[in-house]
Amino acid sequence: MTRFADFAALGRRLERARGRLEKRDEVARFLRTLAPDEIATAVAFLAARAFPASDPRVLGVRGLPAERPGEAEALRGPLTLLHVAEAFADVAAAAGSGVRRARDERLARLASRASDDERDFLARIVGGEMRTGVSEGLLLEAIAAAWGVDVATTRRAALFLGDLTAVAVLAATGGAAAVAGASPRPFVPLLPMLAEIADDFPSVLAAHGGRTALEYKYDGARIQLHRAGDRVQVWTRRLSDVTRSLPDVVEITRRDLSGEPFILDGEVVALDAAGRPLPFQELMRRFRRVHGVEALVREMPLALHFFDCLMAGGRSLIDEPYERRWEALTAVTGGRYLAERRIVTGEAEAGTFRDAALAAGHEGVMAKDLASTYEPGGRGKRWFKLKAAETVDCVIVAVDRGSGRRRGWLSNYHLAVRDGETFAEVGKTFKGLTDAQFVEMTERLWKLATADDGYTVRVRPEVVVEVEYNEIQKSPTYPSGHALRFARIARVRDDKAPGQATTLGELRHLYERQFQTKGRAAGVV
């Protein structure tokens, strides 16, 4: 049985390791020493999780309490990985009156068995932050290295299984062949396939071989719908379960859709009493509501627009071409609830279709290669989006304290785009939010605070906002090298995760595109 002290020693080595490859190899060596029943626990702990990602249990505690006086000697003994896992399970199982005290007492008993080093790493797991420099991406690479599996194959399996612990167990018990054979499963949500920004229809048609499928780009929220038998679940693009908030979607699924088990990709749009689309922020009320849902369903009905089918009849369609997946989608839906769509071969008919989408109040159009497979989490030239207004999705990484009428609020937001596994700042703004939204955002960001110098509060990069801008400028101020001029928050994108924000590469592309209609000053590159 692997001692927890060995896990803590690994943590110390990872802290000292200088490079990514050294950290990966340390983790891989450790994983290879484990017994089969220890692998899932170790992978979860390395990711600073008390339980695997697919396990719904939570500890429900604020942190690791101090050991209780008088118990340290009585309960001292070699602590193993499985001892810790059993203790966490015991904590999560506590229920009834006085549950918080019971959980703290059970964790305190665990702490009393641990050395100082072990307690440090127990506290990190309980707190959800390991601080060893091992990201989920590096952990995935270590799993691949430990059992000789191709990294791309391991990453694909992780997308399908939704949990690195499951991938590790599969690799350890079945090897590369088992990992390569992983496929999507009902009720394991997949990351959505994403689109690149396109400049115009000629470039899209060229990329797609002269023929592309256009769909309305709705101003709604992406959903992924799973059904097997009577069980139905709905997830957002951030893979948050919103089934309880969307009983009308569940009812439509059971009543009107067939061919289960299936997994569908689509969009929901909130409608007013006259059937007109409501603003995106109104739709988010539906997603956040868990009480009084039925009243809100009557007040704010939803329109469903499905545009992809990832599984039908229990068979994965991930590797089938888009054209075949659309046929399966039509069969599952009976031709109802489909996104408005047209296959085009020329710029004129594409423009007519886009104009119709804009006239209907939608954001623009999507363009999809009819031969493209579905790549969960992938972004490339297989899918393009063509929008009327120029916006980027930024992450708030810091915020300044307000002054004047905004005193007491955190109100000047530091905006950043994604740059690999980090974020690069591209500007600040205090524009776009109402007073009520400033208050709500202040409360939200204080909960994410990591540092405070009395003026600027650094926050965990979790809040995504859609930002309108006048133009993108070169900037000596920001390490990104760019700044958004006249930035304004258009809306808070609670449906997007930080990893789905605009990338620095995309921002640079948008910067260069500006010079198709503008002159370039001397010396500006």
pLDDT band at 513 (very low <50, low <70, confident <90, very high): confident
User: 3-state class of 339 per DSSP?
Assistant: coil
Q: Which helix (H) or strand (E) holds 62?
A: none
pLDDT score of 74 more than 90: no
Report yes or no: 110 and 122 within 8 Å, Cβ to Cβ: yes
CB 106 within 8 A of CB 90: yes
* Per-residue pLDDT tens over the stretch 106-160: 999 999 999 999 999 999 999 999 999 999 999 999 999 999 999 999 999 998 9
Catalytic residue among 23, 217, 368, 496: 217
- Residue 244 in this model has a pLDDT that exceeds 80: yes
The whole-number pLDDT of residue 319 equals 94
**Burial of residue 73 (number of CB atoms within 10 Å: 0-12, 13-18, 19+):** exposed
**pLDDT over 60 (residue 271):** yes
Q: Residue 272's pLDDT is what?
A: 76
Question: Under CATH, which number does the domain 391-516 receive?
Answer: 2.40.50.140
Instruction: Return the higher-pLDDT residue of 228 and 524.
Output: 228
pLDDT at 231 over 50: yes
DSSP symbol at 218? -
pLDDT at 523: 45
Query: How much is the pLDDT for 216?
Result: 96
Asked about 217 being catalytic, the answer comes back as yes
- Beta pairing partners, 383: 368
* 426 DSSP 8-state letter: E
Contacts of 58 (CB under 8 A, 6+ apart): 50, 51, 92
Interacting residues of 411 by C-beta distance below 8 A, sequence separation 6+: 399, 400, 401, 402, 430, 438, 441, 442
Q: Which residue has the tokens 């590096």?
A: 138
* Res 123: pLDDT: 95
When pLDDT is cut at 50, 70 and 90, the band that residue 525 belongs to is low
DSSP assignment letter at 433: -
On whether the CB atoms of residues 328 and 316 are closer than 8 A, the answer is no
Enumerate the H helices of 383-516 as residue ranges: 435-446, 504-513
3-class DSSP state of 369: coil
Where do the domains of the chain lie? 4-180, 194-387, 391-516
Distance (Å, rounded) from C-alpha 99 to C-alpha 85? 19
Task: For 162-213, write each residue's pLDDT tens digit.
Answer: 899 999 999 999 999 999 999 999 999 998 999 998 879 999 999 999 999 9
Lowest-confidence region among 26-40, 214-228, 263-277 = 263-277
Q: Is 143 left (phi over 0), alpha (psi -120 to 50) or beta?
A: alpha
Q: Which amino acid is at 34?
A: L
Classify residue 186 by burial, with Cβ atoms within 10 Å: 0-12, 13-18, 19+. middle
What's the CATH code, domain 194-387? 3.30.470.30
Hey, what are 188's tokens? 């394991």
* Burial of 455 (C-beta count, 10 Å sphere; 0-12/13-18/19+): exposed
pLDDT of 524 over the 70 cut? no
Question: What would the pLDDT profile of 378-387 be if each residue is shown by its tens digit?
Answer: 888 999 999 7
- The amino acid occupying position 419 is D
User: Collapsing DSSP states into helix, strand and coil, what is residue 42?
Assistant: helix
Give the mean model confidence (pLDDT) for residues 9-27. Answer: 96
Share of the chain above pLDDT 90, in %: 71
- Portion of the chain with pLDDT greater than 70, in percent: 95
Question: Among 47-61, 147-161, 277-291, whose mean pLDDT is lowest?
Answer: 277-291
Of 78-82, 389-393, 401-405, highest mean pLDDT: 78-82
**Predicted confidence (pLDDT) at residue 518 exceeds the cutoff of 80:** no
| Calpha distance 465→395 (Å, rounded) | 6
Q: pTM of the prediction?
A: 0.74
CATH of domain 4-180: 1.10.3260.10
Both tokens of residue 78? 């070699």
